Structure 1
Amino acid sequence: MKKLIISVLLLVMVIATGCSNNTAKKSNSESVDKFAIAVSTWIGYAPLYIAKEKGFFKKNGIEVDLMKMESVSDRRSSMAANRIQGFATTVDSHVVTAASDLPVVQVLALDDSYGGDGIVAKKEIRSLKDLVGKTVAVQTDGGASFFWFLYQLEQEGINYKDIKTQNMTAGDAGAAFVANKVDAAVTWEPWLSKAKETSFGSVLTSSDQTPGVIADTIGLRKDFVDKNPKAVKALVKSWYEALDYIETDHKDAISIMAKAMGQTSAELEESLKGVRFYDQEKNKEYFGTKEKPGKLMELTKLSSKLWSELKIIDKEPNTDELVDYSFIQ
């Protein structure tokens, strides 16, 4: 009888141990939230690869699949199909996403263009008001360059319709200006430098004069954010840690980012001159609070207004729902 009791106790202990192990495995697997974010090969997104390579995502309890998609429309359709849970792009592009009845929430600011974009113009054009009646090459079917151009015109009280525009991508616009085919162009490097090398051109304005306007944020599906607030918080924390790593081990950080962007370390260092990353302090300033919103909401609302007026979108989304202030604090 005694042996029987001991045998039964041992069996119970084995079963209990097995259940305990199974519970632990389940708990461990559930503690890691897996989701996917789409990015392009823009240097502003490069620190995300540091977070992945150095294990910051994993340490903070998430597993993030960084999917490269150069086209914003591809990123948007993939998020609509829930193949990805979010993507990085400019503020104005997230407005277009929301206007297409795909609820998106901006949860983190990544970077802004800080001298990497500009308007090049003939030397006799000395101000934005001098562009009235002139031919400007700019991508007029939406996008960051066009929004930035419209933003500057708005600040100066200039009617967009008073300017003759030619629809070109930023790269083609720069090339057209250097070939002396247009009066001005909204473009980026290396065309800013090439324009200054011509006998007739100069840089009229550059993005370091309008900080925070050409800015990238991560927008996530609203249903994902609502169900996974801890995962979103971990994503934000991992971004901050990646930026810290750039300061603590600059050489290794540059190497990781260069590999991800398909550049040499020297090329990436040069590219960094035209971009500014957003750490926690900059995020707090850029987001502000729900009671006192920062520049992010200002640009979100302006994007909605301008895109609606130009028929880029059919209807204005509820901009108050496009920003979540709770994760960057």
Structure 2
Amino acid sequence: MRKLVRFFGIAAVSLVTLASTPSFAAGRTDFKVCWTIYAGWMPWGEAKTQGIVSKWAKKYGINVDVVQLNDYVESINQYTAGKFDGCAMTNMDALTIPASGGVDSTALIVSDYSNGNDGVLIKGKGRKLTDLKGQQINLVQFSVSHYLLARALESAHMTERDLKVVNTSDADISAAFATPEVQQAVTWNPMLADLKAQPNVTEVFDSSKIPGEIMDMMVVNTKTLQENPALGKALTGAWFEMVALMHANSPGSTAALTAMAKSSGTDLAGFKGQLSTTALFYTPQAALDFVSSPNLPVIMTRVARFSFDHGLLGQGAPSADAVGMAFDKGVVIGSKSNVKLRFDPSYVAMAAAGKL
């Protein structure tokens, strides 16, 4: 379940001094990556439990420890500080925390995108987006919810100036929506599913209307990956073996899904419900097609613009182009002299070609 805050921030920028001197030397054999509870990232924990990660690591002569942390933002902060070689995070957080903080990072695997996991709610039947005008709306400020709201308003030819955002933590959003004072909210699953199932609530916009814009990824330190390609191969191989098992419609896949459901605090039906609004790439080719698409730089340009407009690219960022991002076929957006986020499809391409 997406219980933990998935929000942008610039607090980790101060950690760049810690991360600027690589804490991991080339030619290492021991690596650590971290993840937190969310439907799209549960396969990492199950892959460790089933020995899939260790099998692939052994194939390449290394050891990889996959560590579950309890705080999402703290996991990114620890990665940014050099405590982990990789971390599961969203595309937006990868840009606004490690990349904006000066840590050159690579999106090794874009594993899925939100396809209805995030939504805008208004109390009352038959409501529409334009009913938000002049109203207050509760959400986690500077989060994927905030980004979703901005995109929703844009679709209705409105802006944030047309309403008032009230910062509300993910832990408090359900309780707030239960009060008569709160009539509008933006949130993610599992809170979203619970709130929109209530009587007289209308979901006026959800992330399926902006497909591909809220991504979940395994991000690794670029220098570490370049010096240790075995890490990229082992993680990529393990990931796609795990998701193939999930998709196999077999007793083994049912057992794996049931275990992931339990670990995330729900039952099998609840977990499958979360997966139904998560566009998980079950094959390397599907992931490769997504990350190689010319639409990906367009999406990340939007994300960079939102981040800059909300002060999330760090103090002194002169424009939305302050941080460079590299994509397939040598495409670069933003500053070519400050490329800090790379969508590198090479390892997924190896998996798609059966060369891992």
The TM-score bracket by the shorter chain reads: 0.7 to 0.9
2:73 corresponds in structure 1 to 73
Distance 1:74 1:171 in 2: 16
Distance 1:282 1:212 in 2: 13
State the one-letter code of the partner of 1:39. W
For structure 2, the 5+ residue unaligned runs are: 1-25, 327-338, 350-356
What's the offset of the Cα at 1:178?
3.1
What's the offset of the Cα at 1:245?
0.8
What's the offset of the Cα at 1:274?
3.1
Q: Which of 46, 49, 55 is the matching residue for 1:53?
A: 49
Q: Which of 318, 321, 324 is the matching residue for 1:318?
A: 324
Distance 1:325 1:155 in 2: 31
Which structure has the highest helix share of the two?
1
Distance 1:259 1:32 in 2: 35
What's the offset of the Cα at 1:319?
1.9
The 8 Å contact of residues 27 and 228 in structure 2, kept in 1 or not, is answered as: no
2:144 corresponds in structure 1 to 144
Between stretches 123-132 and 210-219, larger displacement belongs to 123-132
The 8 Å contact of residues 28 and 228 in structure 2, kept in 1 or not, is answered as: no
For structure 1, the 5+ residue unaligned runs are: 1-29
Q: Structure 2 vs 1, CA of residues 227 and 156 (structure 1 numbering), >3 Å: closer, same or farther? A: farther
State the one-letter code of the partner of 2:129. L
Root-mean-square deviation over aligned CA pairs: 2.6
Distance 1:255 1:105 in 2: 31
What's the offset of the Cα at 1:171?
4.7
Between stretches 261-270 and 314-323, larger displacement belongs to 261-270
Q: How many residues are matched?
A: 294
1:302-317 to 2 correspondences below 5 Å: 302-314=302-314, 315=317, 316-317=322-323
State the one-letter code of the partner of 1:70. N
Q: Which of 327, 342, 348 is the matching residue for 1:328?
A: 348
2:267 is aligned with 1:276: no
2:34 corresponds in structure 1 to 38
What's the offset of the Cα at 1:244?
1.0
2:210 corresponds in structure 1 to 210
Q: 1:248-278: per-residue Cα shift (whole Å, max 9, x none)?
A: 3222211332344344445433433332322
1:124-163 to 2 correspondences below 5 Å: 126-140=127-141, 142-163=142-163
SS at match of 1:244: helix
What's the offset of the Cα at 1:137?
0.8
Q: 1:212-243: per-residue Cα shift (whole Å, max 9, x none)?
A: 22221111111112112232022112111111
**What is the TM-score with the length of structure 2 in the denominator?**
0.74
The 8 Å contact of residues 133 and 163 in structure 1, kept in 2 or not, is answered as: yes
The 8 Å contact of residues 139 and 166 in structure 2, kept in 1 or not, is answered as: yes
Distance 1:83 1:31 in 2: 17
What's the offset of the Cα at 1:206?
2.3
**What is the TM-score with the length of structure 1 in the denominator?**
0.80
Q: Structure 2 vs 1, CA of residues 183 and 258 (structure 1 numbering), >3 Å: closer, same or farther? A: closer
State the one-letter code of the partner of 1:286. F
What's the offset of the Cα at 1:56?
2.5
The 8 Å contact of residues 92 and 147 in structure 1, kept in 2 or not, is answered as: no
The 8 Å contact of residues 52 and 64 in structure 1, kept in 2 or not, is answered as: no
Between stretches 185-194 and 83-92, larger displacement belongs to 185-194
The 8 Å contact of residues 49 and 256 in structure 1, kept in 2 or not, is answered as: no
1:118 corresponds in structure 2 to 119
Q: Structure 2 vs 1, CA of residues 160 and 254 (structure 1 numbering), >3 Å: closer, same or farther? A: same
What's the offset of the Cα at 1:54?
2.8
2:103 is aligned with 1:102: yes
Structure 1 segments (4+ residues) deviating >6 Å:
none
Distance 2:254 2:196 in 1: 32
What's the offset of the Cα at 1:70?
3.4
SS at match of 1:88: strand
1:90 corresponds in structure 2 to 90
State the percentage of identical aligned residues.
22
The 8 Å contact of residues 118 and 192 in structure 1, kept in 2 or not, is answered as: no
Distance 2:143 2:83 in 1: 23
Distance 1:57 1:300 in 2: 30
Task: Please identify the structure whose Cα radius of gyration is greater.
Answer: 1
SS at match of 1:148: helix
SS at match of 2:78: helix
State the one-letter code of the partner of 1:327. Y
2:287 is aligned with 1:287: no
State the one-letter code of the partner of 2:136. T
What's the offset of the Cα at 1:58?
2.8
1:9 corresponds in structure 2 to none
Distance 1:149 1:44 in 2: 22
SS at match of 2:176: helix
Distance 2:28 2:266 in 1: 32
